[in-house]
Amino acid sequence: MIVNFANEARDWIAQNLMRGCQPETVVRELVGNKVEGELAVAMVQSVLNALIYGEPMPAGKLDLDAPPAQYVPDPSRLGRVSVLKTGKRDVPVLARLQRPSAALLGNVLDAEECRQLIAQAKPRLAASTVVDPITGLDRVADHRSSAGMFFKPGETPLVARIEKRIAELTGLPVEHGEGLQILHYPTGAESTPHYDFLMPANESNKASIARSGQRIATFIMYLNDVDAGGETGFPHVGWSVLPRRGQALFFEYGNAARKTDPMSLHTGAAVLAGEKWIATKWVRERAFIPASA
Ligand SMILES: O=C(O)CCC(=O)C(=O)O
Ligand SMILES: [Fe+2]
C-alpha cells in the first residue's frame, strides 16, 4: 500500500535522527502526535534507510510493503590468516567480529612510532569539529570533547611509512586514505555514537562522495595505554576494544553493493583515568581528493 508522506514530516524525522535521537524515540514522538504506530515505524524506517543505507529519500509517498534494507558484508579484506605480514613486521590478528566486520591487530606500531606521532601532532591540535548535519558547516563538537589534527597524506616520512603499512595490511590502496587524523582525549572526554561513513543526505557530503566515493573502512591505531575507560565500543553488538599502545582496530562498513552497515555505529567511551591518543585513517572507495584540490 502506498500512502502520502509529507516532506515536512520527513524532514523533521531526518533532523531528529541526524541529531542523534534514537529511532524508537522518534517513533514514540510521532505516535504521541496521533500517527498510527505501524505507519510511524515505516516513516522512520524509510528515512533511516535513506540516511544510512543510501536508499532514495522518500518524496511525498511511502510504500508500506517495501522490503527492509539489508546489509550483507563482503568477506574481510584481511582474509583468514592469523598473522599478517608487512615488510619485516608480523601483525597478529587478536580478535575478529563478523558484524560489523572488524579485527583487532597487534604490533601495528612500535612504542617509538607512537611517541613520535604524538610529538608531531601535539603543537597542531585544535578542538575537534563535526559537520553539522543540518547546515553542512564545520562546528566545534559539543559531544566530542577531544582535540585533533590531520596530517596531509605522506606529510612526514613517519606518516608515509605508516600509511604504506596500513595499505599493505588491509589491501586498500594508499591513495584511498584520507589524511591521518590524530585525536587526543583528556580525562572525561568521549566521542558519542556515530557512523564514520558520510550521510549521503547531507548536502556538504554529496560533493565529497562524488569526488572520492563513500568511506568504507576505518583503521584506528592506539598510541598509548589508557588507565581506565576510553574503549572503542560498538553499542549495537556490545563489543568494546581497550586502547593498547601499538594495537589497531580495523572495521569495514561499505560493501560491493555500495550499501553502508548500520551495525558499525561506534563510540569512544569516556576516558575515566589518564588520557587517550589515537591515530585514525578513514578509507574511501576511490582515491581521496580533498575539497580544496
Ligand atoms: O576514540 C575512539 O576509540 C573512536 C574514534 C573514532 O570513532 C574515529 O576516529 O572515527
Ligand atoms: Fe568513528
Ligand 1 site residues, Cβ closer than 6 angstroms:
183, 191, 196, 218, 220, 232, 266, 268, 278, 280
Residue 75 lies in a domain: no
pLDDT in tens, 237-249: 999 999 999 999 9
Instruction: Locate the ligand 1 atom nearest the alpha carbon of residue 190 and give its number.
Output: 1
Domain count, the chain: 2
Grid cell of 102 as nine digits? 572488524
Q: ipTM of the predicted structure? A: 0.99
Domain that holds residue 247: 83-284
Which one of 131, 252, 265, 266 would you pick to mutate in the ligand 1 pocket, going by the greatest count of ligand atoms within 8 A of its CB? Answer: 266
pLDDT at 217: 98
How far away, in angstroms, is 74 Cα from ligand 2 center? 20
Which residue owns the Cα nearest ligand 1 atom 1?
A: 268
244 and 173 in a single domain? The answer is yes
pLDDT in tens, 92-122: 999 999 999 999 999 999 999 999 999 999 9
Residue 125 lies in a domain: yes
Residue 74 lies in a domain: no
CA gyration radius for the chain?
Answer: 20
Among 168-177, 199-208, 251-260, the range with the most confident prediction by mean pLDDT is 168-177
Contact 259, 100 (CB under 8 A): no
Cβ < 5 A residues, ion ligand 2: 196
13 and 90 in a single domain? The answer is no
How far away, in angstroms, is 267 Cα from ligand 2 center? 7
13 and 88 in a single domain? The answer is no
Instruction: Locate the ligand 1 atom nearest the alpha carbon of residue 232 and give its number.
Output: 3
154 and 271 in a single domain? The answer is yes
Residue 17 lies in a domain: yes
DSSP string, 56-107: PPP-EEEETTPPPP---PPPPTT-S-SEEEETTEEEEEEEEETTTEEEEESS
Helix axes 7-18, 37-53, angle to 10 degrees: 60
Task: Name the percent of the chain lying above pLDDT 90.
Answer: 72
**Residue with the larger pLDDT of the pair 53 and 217:** 217
CA dihedral 243, 231, 120, 280 (to 10 degrees): 100
